[in-house]
Structure 1
């Protein structure tokens, strides 16, 4: 798909609901379509929809090595509930070893540069492997989640990965997500019940306080405009990143 076709599709799907958007994606891309799941509420909704419409579409998640125990429990629970097998991608252990030995186990607390390095190695690199050979991916992004996501479109071109990116829940409100989960008895992350609306790696996620933004618990020590790991920010992904670990200052 080129950009003009994507514009036409967004016009066509302007009033489409999430299921209709998925129907279009499944028909358009078939086996070349994949769902990237963080195991959060939105991705569980999309997994449920896919399992009912096209269970052959691959669902994968990234195991960064720093996930919450509850995340692993949900992976097993989801596999059992849908009689499926979520595919898991891991970071390259050599890159992780070199990064940790040169920068420290919790390097991400010291600078945005360090945090983006960690995200790149633990998330972006395995993501690229997961996308190999694919033409489109499904994401659980919603516009109201963060100030970094207000301009997201239903269908986009992912320049960095050379894929079409589809966001079926882009217009959903939080209560719509939870209504769907309740009505359809969808397995969900138990930390959501403890004040964690957005869940990533354990050391980089905390519960939010009353009145805080739903993404306030992610990388809470950073300014809001920096709060993306690189999976959903095109500017972070346009250039292939190469880190020279030995020449980086330890902080």
Structure 2
């Protein structure tokens, strides 16, 4: 089994010149390799709608975790509920931080995301994912190379230094057009904020409609220079 400790750069290659641009082949390999030692960390944005559907075709009872910061848009919870109905066998878990918003406010002050967004992301996203990945060998992510400069070199299979794990990204070659075409073709549930100028959706306080139509993540932490929450660094 390929693990963080046994990482080998000569890993299997996948053909991306097919209908799903390699995504299904990567998922079949991943679940054959890891089975329940693989967790899909899903944000339930538009890529999540696609990847949940693809995952369900390969492993109908796959483990899916949503990092419930308790600061998400209502529309995000609505698409999760729709996914639960459409894919009843998927094990979709809403993972909450150990620290409540009230406890965080007492210790760090109200609206920590305005004062120290990195610390807020650490408490409400990174530490919870660390807890979920503890004891499993690999995790799935819906990253696409087109999304941002920090993601252009993402591979199908990555050695994740941040979580000391294997990170698998089946959608790296998909464009936003590919994503939407698949969603409409299969009539998938999706976050309706995407229809209102939000190509990338995170926590409500730190997400606005995209400022730059050429930059899909320009509505995230706008004006701060921050590009990532920390889940996808390393």
What's the TM-score once normalised by structure 1's chain length? 0.84
Q: 1:2 to 1:131 in 2, by over 3 A?
A: closer
CA distance in 1, matches of 2:108, 2:133: 29
> For 2:167, what is the secondary structure of its paired residue?
strand
> For 2:9, what is the secondary structure of its paired residue?
helix
Superposed CA deviations along residues 164-206 of structure 1, whole A, max 9, x for unmatched, are 1001001111100111111111110010011101000001001
Matched, 1:90 2:92: no
The residue aligned with 2:229 is: 229
From the two aligned structures, give the one with the greater helix fraction.
1
CA distance in 1, matches of 2:15, 2:216: 25
The residue aligned with 1:17 is: 22
CA distance in 2, matches of 1:187, 1:193: 13
TM-superposed deviation, 1:99: 3.4
TM-superposed deviation, 1:23: 0.9
The residue aligned with 1:186 is: 188
> For 1:7, what is the secondary structure of its paired residue?
coil
Matched, 1:217 2:222: no
What's the TM-score once normalised by structure 2's chain length? 0.90
Q: Show the 5 A alignment for 1:46-195.
A: 46-84=51-89, 85-93=91-99, 96-110=101-115, 114-195=116-197
Structure 2 portions without partners, runs of 5+: none
Structure 1 portions without partners, runs of 5+: 235-251
TM-superposed deviation, 1:2: 5.9
> For 1:39, what is the secondary structure of its paired residue?
coil
Alignment coverage as a number of residue pairs: 227
CA distance in 2, matches of 1:215, 1:156: 22
RMSD: 1.9
Q: 1:211 to 1:161 in 2, by over 3 A?
A: closer
The residue aligned with 1:8 is: 10
